[in-house]
Structure 1
Amino acid sequence: MKLPEAVAAYVAYKQSLGMRFATEARTLKSFYRMLGNIDIREVDADRVYAFLAGNGPITAFWHRKLSALRSFYRFAIARGYTTSSPLPLTVPKEPRTFVPYIYSREEMKRLLAATADRERCNLSSLTCRTLLLLLYGTGLRIGEAVGLNLADVDLDSGILCIRESKFYRTRLVPTGPDLTSVLAQYAAERNKWPPLNPDVAFLLTKRGQRLSRAGAEQAFKHLRDRAQVRRDDSARYQPRLHDLRHTYTVTRLVSWYREGADVQRLLPQLATYLGHVHIAATQHYLTMTPELLRQASLRFERYARGGDNHA
């Protein structure tokens, strides 16, 4: 059996069980695109290693790709598509968790200022600015933002309906008066462009098409370079569009600490707001940045002195 056919059968099987399986499907699709339309039995260890890392370092993404391939090959062997797995028997230790970039207010100002020059971009200045403020002000995932339809944006109530996001969950996200005003300004311009069906995209490209995740990320790279926002540590990646989600979350947690709020009690609410299935994903943020660690340390010092006892 050809590799693309085996992957298609595996993805169809997983989705028949009610799983969205979008991320793993993309990983496996990139796998057979790189290797070509070869027989699954022809896949060897060298090709697998080339797909996993090429000449780059071992990353968490390397391990996620390996995990997807492992599950696929268990399925393929069980179905008789192949008799053995070409995957590595020994696996390098997973690197320490990637530390996301947290944008400062000054950097956000520079990024927003850079949206004024979008002549060679597929996005208008208004669309680019609205996308940045939407992600910065709500912590949405990129896919959730570009997936918004007109009907999902309730400007009267200041509510976004995020439908069947990463974990097949729908949730309501309040936007607050300032962001609602930004979205209303965009909607007033966007509604001049067809189509206006409630089930069509809220964020559009200059061609009137739904903004894609790849298009949004590419536009952001140009903005980042123009705004001269860079990280100087040893991280493999420069600041990303997705880091706006991390910035929102860390900013919210720091604000709670400074206000003296009971952060542990509020974490489940934040997890629901962000669309996290498990609270552990939200708790991870508590040790993500020096500022949060400093705020937690100050909170503990107050507790030790007999003051504020919120954890």
Structure 2
Amino acid sequence: MNNYRWKSSIADHMQEYLVLMRMTGFQYKRQGRMLEMFDQYCYDVGFTGDGLDAELVNGFCYGVYYEKASTRYQKEKLLSGLAEHLCTIGNPSYICPRKSAPKKRTYTPYIFSQEELGNLFRAADTYPSHRLSNRHIVDHVMFRLIYGCGLRLSEALNLKLKDVDLTEGTLTILHSKNNKDRKIPMAASLVDRCKKYNREMHLFSDQETYYFKSTFNRRLDNSTAYRRFREYLWHAGIPHSGRGPRIHDLRHAYCVHCLKRWVLTGKDLTNLFPYLSAYLGHADFRGTQYYLRLTADLYPDIISKTEATLGYIIPEGRCL
């Protein structure tokens, strides 16, 4: 982590809790920093107990009046988990209720049509070159890879040269959401495009170099990618409402287009569904089920053809 010096009376138990959570597959970076803040808070207020009490917990969770509800909710989640851990080792503790949960935003994914995707990629393809920028080389490959492999933006930006095997035609995605690793195949057209990209960008690069790098040879940052994406949307004539389309909608579009293609070609979705779930890096089928529901909503005439087969796969109502 870092050089923080733990100092409260329950510091050892906090560190035990962090280790346990990381053993279950969570990275817990942000929670680790918040736990350090709680340790410092316990020390500052003179807490000397071996279990959490309500006064201590409420002071930490609600003592800063200007904090957002989302921050308070993260504190509640963290301390309730810590309290449960303390209880299991024989230190009775106050389990904080999670009452600050922010309202969930509802966002309907934007599913690009094939024509819109063509216009979007063409806008990136034709971006003029500039001696102080490499975006005319990077962007058209990056956005095609995100769509063509159903990647999350962070997965694309975290790729290193060693993770892109153009001989095997695969990408290795490491430490992704839910701390999952996976290897996924690429289409032949993407492999060819990446080979050309490597000749232009990585002829002398070290294997640890970020695949999509900035002009200064560093990892391309999220905000830069989003800014460029919105510019390409504008050139492609695709309106941006303020909330979307987003880069993540390329991943949504990949999933829906994939499912639509399988249905139209008579594929057995019950057999292919687990493969799609693994390809996307979902922790379980619930994340992938969402795309089945979305496909059914967008293309009811198509899905109705195989309704008998899909009935038990496509859940009723809104999926999580």
Fold shared per TM-score above 0.5: yes
Task: Tell me the distance in 2 between the aligned counterparts of 1:135 and 1:91.
Answer: 31
Q: Secondary structure at the match of 2:172?
A: strand
Residue 112 in structure 1 maps to residue 121 in structure 2: yes
Tell me what 1:212 maps to.
221
Tell me what 2:304 maps to.
297
Structure 2: where are the runs of 5+ without partners?
A: 1-5, 46-55, 87-92, 312-320
Q: Percent identity?
A: 27
Shift of residue 310, structure 1, vs aligned partner: 6.8
Give runs of aligned pairs for residues 19-30 of structure 1, distance below 5 A: 19=24, 21-22=26-27, 25-26=29-30
Residue 51 in structure 1 maps to residue 56 in structure 2: no
Shift of residue 230, structure 1, vs aligned partner: 2.7
1:26-46 CA distances to partner (integer Å, 9 max, x unpaired)? Answer: 48869x99xxx9879655649
Tell me what 1:14 maps to.
18
| Residue identity in the other structure for 2:274 | P
Query: Taking structure 1 as reference, are residues 14 and 271 closer, same or farther at Cα in structure 2, changes over 3 Å only?
Result: same
Task: Tell me the distance in 2 between the aligned counterparts of 1:122 and 1:75.
Answer: 47
Tell me what 2:316 maps to.
none
Residue 267 in structure 1 maps to residue 273 in structure 2: yes
Q: What TM-score, normalized by structure 1, do the two folds share?
A: 0.72
Shift of residue 12, structure 1, vs aligned partner: 8.3
Give runs of aligned pairs for residues 33-112 of structure 1, distance below 5 A: 45=62, 47=64, 50-52=67-69, 68-74=74-80, 89=99, 94=104, 98-112=107-121
Structure 1: where are the runs of 5+ without partners?
A: 53-61, 304-308
Residue 199 in structure 1 maps to residue 199 in structure 2: no
Counterpart contact for 2:150–2:255, Cα < 8 Å? yes
Query: Taking structure 1 as reference, are residues 15 and 250 closer, same or farther at Cα in structure 2, changes over 3 Å only?
Result: farther
Shift of residue 287, structure 1, vs aligned partner: 1.0
Tell me what 2:186 maps to.
175
Q: Secondary structure at the match of 2:179?
A: coil
Structure whose CA Rg is larger: 2
Counterpart contact for 2:80–2:97, Cα < 8 Å? no
Shift of residue 100, structure 1, vs aligned partner: 1.2
Task: Tell me the distance in 2 between the aligned counterparts of 1:272 and 1:209.
Answer: 30
Shift of residue 291, structure 1, vs aligned partner: 2.7
| Residue identity in the other structure for 2:18 | K
Counterpart contact for 1:140–1:274, Cα < 8 Å? yes
Query: Taking structure 1 as reference, are residues 155 and 72 closer, same or farther at Cα in structure 2, changes over 3 Å only?
Result: same
Tell me what 1:152 maps to.
163
Q: Secondary structure at the match of 1:172?
A: strand
Tell me what 1:239 maps to.
245
Tell me what 1:142 maps to.
153
User: What is the number of equivalent residue pairs in this alignment?
Assistant: 278
1:247-291 CA distances to partner (integer Å, 9 max, x unpaired)? Answer: 111100000111111112210111111111211211221111433
Q: Secondary structure at the match of 2:225?
A: helix
| Residue identity in the other structure for 2:68 | F
1:66-125 CA distances to partner (integer Å, 9 max, x unpaired)? Answer: 65332213256677xxx9899774767756x53211112222223223321476996511
Q: What TM-score, normalized by structure 2, do the two folds share?
A: 0.70
Q: Secondary structure at the match of 1:167?
A: helix
- RMSD of Structure 2 on Structure 1 (CA): 4.0
| Residue identity in the other structure for 1:104 | S
Query: Taking structure 1 as reference, are residues 94 and 162 closer, same or farther at Cα in structure 2, changes over 3 Å only?
Result: closer
Counterpart contact for 1:11–1:25, Cα < 8 Å? no
Shift of residue 5, structure 1, vs aligned partner: 9.5
Tell me what 2:136 maps to.
125
Q: Secondary structure at the match of 1:125?
A: helix
Shift of residue 245, structure 1, vs aligned partner: 0.8
| Residue identity in the other structure for 2:220 | L
Query: Taking structure 1 as reference, are residues 89 and 142 closer, same or farther at Cα in structure 2, changes over 3 Å only?
Result: closer
